[in-house]
Amino acid sequence: MRKYVAEFIGTMVLVIFGCGSAVAANTLVGKLGVEVPLGFTTLLIAFAFGLVIVAMAYSIGNISGCHINPAVSLGVFISGKMNGKDFVGYLVAQFIGGIAGAAILVALFGSNESLGTNGYGDASALGISMGIAFLAEVILTFVFVIAVLGVTSKVENGSVAGLVIGLTLTLVHILGIPFTGTSVNPARSFGPALLAGGQPLSQVWVFILAPLVGAAIAALVYKFLSAEEEKQA
């Protein structure tokens, strides 16, 4: 039970600080009435998501592995490093944590109009189509999950794993934010979309399905690559 509670807390904190930083940055820019380069806010938000992963990895990593992302849990499950019971338990805890985090953001900002939701079309900075949004999320999640599987595959990487994973999440956000706002995490997307309603909720299926597809591909590719490596050893 403790690992499920840890996943709930970790996902909640990710939404509060990651999505909350996006809301705060965009709100502040709007109130100041000044033009801020898109690259500046992109980096700010990207590092917020990356740093919260680093913080949680070294806080709850020894308890649950700090997945705090259904896509990561799926990758670990397909890799054979997680049983079905824990997989379901992690998913439930993560989605509830995402909803709780979004609810706290509503309380903090006093509105559900902007919760760091993901989107395509006019909800995307680049105005991309649904198909491009799906493809982008598959690619971004593939990179993130294969990095997680790789760095956590060796015990000697334990001291740096959190940092590597956090920086990889920062990396995928830098590219992905102008496209979709960057999900790579179904629970992070579902919580804010559920409380925001409207367009974010109608589009959220893309940000649930695409990361799971990307994670599954990453797990299968990593299994193939690691199997080849074991044969050569």
25 or 21, which is more confident?
A: 21
Q: Mean pLDDT over residues 168-197, rounded?
A: 96
CATH placement of domain 2-232: 1.20.1080.10
Instruction: Compute the distance between CA of residue 132 and CA of residue 123 in angstroms, rounded to an integer.
Output: 13
Q: Is a pLDDT exceeding 70 seen at residue 19?
A: yes
Q: Whole-angstrom Cα distance, residue 164 to residue 217?
A: 20
The b/e string for 196-209 (b: 16+ C-beta within 10 A; e otherwise) is beeebeebbebbbe
pLDDT, position 45: 93
Residue showing tokens 């006093």: 110
pLDDT band at 35 (very low <50, low <70, confident <90, very high): low
Q: Which pLDDT does position 196 carry in this prediction?
A: 95
pTM, two decimals, is 0.92
Cβ distance 184 to 69 under 8 Å?
yes
Judged against a pLDDT cut of 80, whether residue 26 lies above it is answered with: no
What sign does the dihedral 75-208-8-26 (CA atoms) show?
positive
Mean residue pLDDT of the chain comes to 92
Tens digit of pLDDT for each residue in 122-152?
999 999 999 999 999 999 999 999 999 999 9
Q: What is the DSSP letter of 155?
A: G
CA neighbor of 50 nearest in space, from 162, 139, 187: 162
Domain boundaries, the chain: 2-232
Q: Distance between CA 140 and CA 172 in Å, rounded? A: 6
What are the angstrom distances between the C-alpha of 177 and each of 39, 118, 120, 171?
10, 9, 11, 10
If you count them, how many residues does the chain have? 233
- pLDDT tens string 69-99: 999 999 999 999 999 999 999 999 999 999 9
Within its chain, how far is the Cα of 90 from the centroid? 14
